[in-house]
Structure 1
């Protein structure tokens, strides 16, 4: 009898240990809607149609990169389910798609949705719902506001910082410049203009002699370029999205206007802007970069570029290698994978934002050497460094030092 009791006691103890370890295992795994033992459901909104459709390839690149991650076993054993919808770069449509993703598809978060007006339209909704609006694909300065919008975080260098860098260059090299600005009439365009004016400081009023804004519904910006040329400006600041950027470069060549031409980084893609506009028309344009230019032979034997090329060959052969948006999508997807790996088995929305705000000196293969991803609980601007570049021949030539573009700097 005592032997039976002893055996029963041992079995009870074993069951208790098993139950305890199971409880611990469960305690270690924390999920919000959109995450399970086998899946991480991610939402995305892109302009696959409409005036900014050149950026649609970003979503396609991200899907291809997540296919690669899934083929390699996923993230901590979980496969990514990437649900990407088209909003045509129309804010009311963005609202509709965000609600669908959050309330019907029940995604864990929305990642890298594109455009300043579209993201502005859903920012309050996402924060009210406490759903991460993570690594938005727009450089508007307002995404770095953790105090008021703790669920929204940017990715690329912000537009005001970029403009300040151009302003610094103009003040140093062309102190008597007469500047004409073409900009998109929305938060994106106005953010760039504000940065330039702040960067020029007291001289802005005398140096900026003409400004023209355009609507994304306009078929062409040719008339705006003609008007700006008539101002007599010798510096042209081109604040446009790819379709209109290519039009502006072409029109400048047609009307034989040859100012010093600054082109915002978001339209510096050789594949979607420079090639369509023509290499001859694009000579000596100045822009800025934080990503490696895939057409630059200096990266031929670079490990990061080799990995990018292997990815394209195996998972995205239809991708245009010289389209900067492809490298952009690839790099920001790598950034997200880094964050999700660091979440471990705690895939709550709160922990995703916590990990995204704890990136310290992350180097990614597509970033220029010296440019690192850095965030904190009070700084939601992951990338804040740039290097100036000038278009020569059929590629961008980097020049000068890596510049930190902090708005407060």
Structure 2
């Protein structure tokens, strides 16, 4: 057991099993109240280098299974406080998927209409989930349709300002990359007077992570050793907000930033050129397509850039795409942790950091979402829906109910 200033790196003495059956000691008024307070779970030595301790903060425990549930709460709640949203308004955002799913959740709960722009390469299941969450249809008269009519809705005529059936996800061309879907969202917002979330520039994003994610980690590790905070960046909100909170209270904790090896935007040292509103003017010259969906669009988000300038990072790990996929699969097979490619990327960075960290070091890595967001991606390319030879042999070992 590793020790530091009298503090152990192991979990508290009380077993987590003792909490089973106790509930949360409260009930919730709506689904958005359940966002946050995600657990940190220890990783076994099958993945964690010997003599070090790694914890995974499992953001797929959020209600819509990703860290972006926090972002959606941040932006929508902030807009409501500022009077920028009123009942019946339309919210629009550009997203690789998880933000759109989370925004659709908030809109469904609050009664807003939701339109998402999304670049062509991102997974099909993300499109379907957003459309499913956006299934709030109204007829021309503005009345809520009953379920039978809703099922038949393709035959209906729709008003341009009313959510269609089942939800609106606008796919932008692959060639336009992330900047293309962002530009399309901005264009549509200006045309129709819709509220644009601007997740890559909206400071409410980082502020929410400062107040929630960062504080959760500090509270969970109170009285315990913690040496490294490991994550990549999508918008940069988690990095800038939680990183700032952790550094303020525990400046000895080192921030380790991961980035796709195929898209070394931060590592290049080249800044993103910006419009007056902080959005990128175009694609970053160091960007190349990579499989870590949700991480590193083809520009450095303004929030990420501010986080680098204000808080900075202490360590940097480039992450090969295949390594992220392999680690995601290893987490499932050895830990029972079901996370996506970005979660695999974070854990890969944590393991690589742990290998060179001093013995006894404790690391926490952010695992952003669930593996179910990647069923149509390379993460599941080797997974068949049909029985293999071994499974067929097991089936044939008893005489009945064989295919």
Give the TM-score normalised by the residue count of structure 2. 0.33
Q: Which has the higher contact order (CA 8 A, sep 6+)?
A: 2
- In our comparison, the structure showing a higher alpha carbon Rg is 1
Higher helix share: 1
